[in-house]
Amino acid sequence: DTGVSQDPRHKITKRGQNVTFRCDPISEHNRLYWYRQTLGQGPEFLTYFQNEAQLEKSRLLSDRFSAERPKGSFSTLEIQRTEQGDSAMYLCASSLRHNYGYTFGSGTRLTVV
Amino acid sequence: DAKTTQPPSMDCAEGRAANLPCNHSTISGNEYVYWYRQIHSQGPQYIIHGLKNNETNEMASLIITEDRKSSTLILPHATLRDTAVYYCIVRVAGGTSYGKLTFGQGTILTVHP
């Protein structure tokens, strides 16, 4: 068990470009979550998967954001046509059951210039 | 999910117990109290959770009042590595929003030598 892995750790992109982040959860965890955290704020929920099914999406997840979890294993979060307001830390977490504690990854820090 | 209120910051001397309070006066009967912490530049770390009984694990103790309207996280022997933002979260264990943790501003705990 190596924990939740996120790749890349840092990403700098120009406004208007597309970016994709990857999350590898703990192998036996069937629940996977994406959060976003801006400077000085607590993390904000984006979306939730149980196995391959995306069961919940926040209103924060605009049409430019899409998340997938093919085969219920790793997950990707894509942001199309990035904007400066997308600059944030994107956190992935996984859990075995919904009432257990979540294990978070170290996040991907996105900077849009 | 019920809202929580935490002091914005607290100090603690190394080796002493750190007692972090949280008010959740609107908590309902099926809502758990969770505590997470976030050390600078890392993802949140799960600490402990409980429903109505006091809980203890290798990291901390959670004391929930009998009316469940408040709780206290206790770090029995604080170390410098416990310096972090501590989040108290109240959430339903099931239902349609079971994927979502709502993080507030948290308490910045600073442990001094």
Q: Higher confidence at residue B29 or residue B5?
A: B5
Cβ partners under 8 Å of residue A23, min gap 6 = A4, A5, A6, A32, A34, A74, A75, A76, A77, A92, A94, A105
Given a contact cutoff of 8 angstroms between Cβ atoms, the answer to whether A104 and A24 are in contact is no
Q: Higher confidence at residue A97 or residue A43?
A: A43
Query: Percentage of chain A with pLDDT > 70?
Result: 97
Q: Is B34 on the interface with A (CB under 8 A)?
A: yes
Q: Is B10 on the interface with A (CB under 8 A)?
A: no
Judged against a pLDDT cut of 80, whether residue A15 lies above it is answered with yes
Given a contact cutoff of 8 angstroms between Cβ atoms, the answer to whether B97 and A58 are in contact is no
Q: Is B106 on the interface with A (CB under 8 A)?
A: yes
Whole-number mean pLDDT of chain A?
93
- Quote the pLDDT of residue A11: 98
Judged against a pLDDT cut of 90, whether residue B41 lies above it is answered with no
Whole-angstrom distance, CA of residue A70 vs CA of residue A89: 23
Residues A30-48, mean pLDDT to the nearest whole number: 93
Sheet of A5-7, strands arranged across: A5-7, A19-24, A75-79, A65-68
pLDDT bracket for residue B94 (50, 70, 90): low
Contact (CB<8Å) A104/B45:
yes
**Which residues in chain B have their CB less than 8 angstroms from residue A43's CB?**
44, 101, 103
pLDDT bracket for residue A61 (50, 70, 90): confident
Contact (CB<8Å) B46/A55:
no
Element (H, E) at B41: none
Give residue ranges of A with CB < 8 Å to any B CB.
Answer: 4, 31, 33, 35, 41-45, 47-48, 50, 55-56, 58, 91, 93, 98-99, 101-107
